[in-house]
Structure 1
Amino acid sequence: MTDTLSTTLTSSPTERRSNQSDSLYETLTVGIMTGRIQPGDKLNELVLAEEFGVSRAPIREALRRLQEKGLVTHVAHQGVRVISPTLEDFLSLLDVREALEGMASRLAATEMASDELDRLADVVEQHGRELQRNPDGPYVQNDFDNDFHVRIARGCRNPVLTDLLCDQFYPRLKLCRTRHGLVKGRGLAAWNEHRRILAALMERDGDVAELLMRRHVRSARAALLSSVPGSNGRPPV
C-alpha cells in the first residue's frame, strides 16, 4: 500500500472509500503519464485491489474516472485497458490543440498578472539552460506545474478552457507522446517558438500571441508527420 493510500482512514466508510479512490486515481494517472503503465496494459480490479490493499469499490471508481478522462477504455471480454492511441488520434488532438491553445494565449495576454508572466519567463529560461546541455534533444516538460502550456492555460482565466486543457486534454496528449515518442531535434525549435509567444504575452498582444501559438502547434504537427517513415509529411491514409 502506498503512503498516500495508507493515510486515508477516516471516521466514515464512505469518506474512506472516496479518499482511497482519489489516491488510486492520482497514482494510476501518474503511472500512465510516466509510462510505468504502458498503453494497452490491462488494469485488473482484483490485481489492483491486492496490490494497494483496498477493496474493489475504490478501484472501480478510480477506473471509471480514468475512463471519463479518456486514458483507459473498457474492452468487451478483456476488461479495462490503457488506451493505445494511434497516430491519427495524435494528429486529431493536435488539430484541436491549435484552436484551444490559440484561444488560451489570446486571453492570457490580457489576463495574466505581471508576476505570472515573470514566472513564465523564468520557466522558459530554465528550459533553455536544459536544452543548451543537449541541443539536439527533445523539449521535455515533466513538471506539470512548470509546463509552459499549462501556465498559459491557467493564466487565461477562463475556467472552462482551463479545465478542458489541463484536466481533459493534456493527459491524453502526454499519453500520445508516450505511445509515439518525441520528435528528435524538435526541442530547440520549440523553445525558440515559446520565446516568441512569451514576448507577445509580455507585450499584451493577444492577436499575435494567438497567431504564434497556432503556428507553434502546426510546427509540432508537421514535425511529427515528418518523423513518420514513408509519410512524406502527409497524414496516413
Structure 2
Amino acid sequence: MSWTSLLDRSYVPYSGEPKACLVEGSSGKIYAGVRIENISYPLTIPAVQAACAICLSEKDTPAKIYVQNRELEQLAFWTVEFHMKVVETDEPPVVDREDLQMNPSSTFSAIDELKSLLNQAVTTNSDFPVSALLFTENGYFEGVNVEVSDWTQGICAERVAIAKAYAHGDTEFTKMEIHTRKGEFSSPCGACRQVIVELLPYHDVVLHHADGTLSEHITVDLLPFSFKSSALNKKK
C-alpha cells in the first residue's frame, strides 16, 4: 500500500485535502485511518483519531504511528495519550484487512454479533457500551464506542464502523444496525445522525433496544432538517 492509495480513500469534498496515517498496535497489527469530513465541520473525523479508535476497538493499544508528515489533526493528543512513537516514512507498512468481515452466512445473527461486540467497547468514563454493524455490498464492519481521557476526543460506535469502511476503501453501504445493553432506546446520538445522514442518506438503520425489541428506520428520517449546503463544497 502507498500513501497515495490510502489518501485516495479519504472523504474530503469540502477541503479537498486528504489525510491518512497508520497506527501499529502493541499486538503488531496495523490499523489505517483516513480523514472523513462532514458538512458540519466540527464532526469531521481526523485520520489520527480514526486509526487510534479502530485500534482500541479491537482491544489493542496504539504503540506507534506512521505518517507521511506531521501535519495531522489531533496527532499531539493521541501520541501523548498512548506514548506512541511517531515514524515519518514514504513507505507505509502493509495494512491487515481482517476488519472487513465476509458476507453473513444463513446462520448469521446481527443481534448476537452486536451483543458480543459490546465487550470490546472502551467505556472508562460512561460505562455505556454501544456496538454497531455497518453493512456494505462486500460484507460488514464492526464498531464500538471508544472513550479516552479527554471526553471530546472520544468517538461513537457508528463512526468507528464508518472509519473502518473508509480506511479499507469499501463505501458501498447498504444498512447499519446498532445496539446498547442499557437505556430505554438504542439510538445514534445527534452527532452520529448528522454523519450518518450525509454518508448513508437513504439507507436502513435497525435499532436493537436493551429490552429485546427493535425498530427500523430510514437514516434521513433520524435527523429532520439536517444541515445541508452546496455552498460549502469548495471543489470546482
Both proteins in one fold, TM over 0.5: no
Could you say which TM-score interval applies, normalised by the shorter chain?
under 0.3
Q: Report the TM-score when normalising by structure 1.
A: 0.25
More strand, by proportion: 2
Mark the structure with the bigger radius of gyration: 1
More helix, by proportion: 1
Structure with bigger RCO (C-alpha 8 Å, 6+ apart): 1
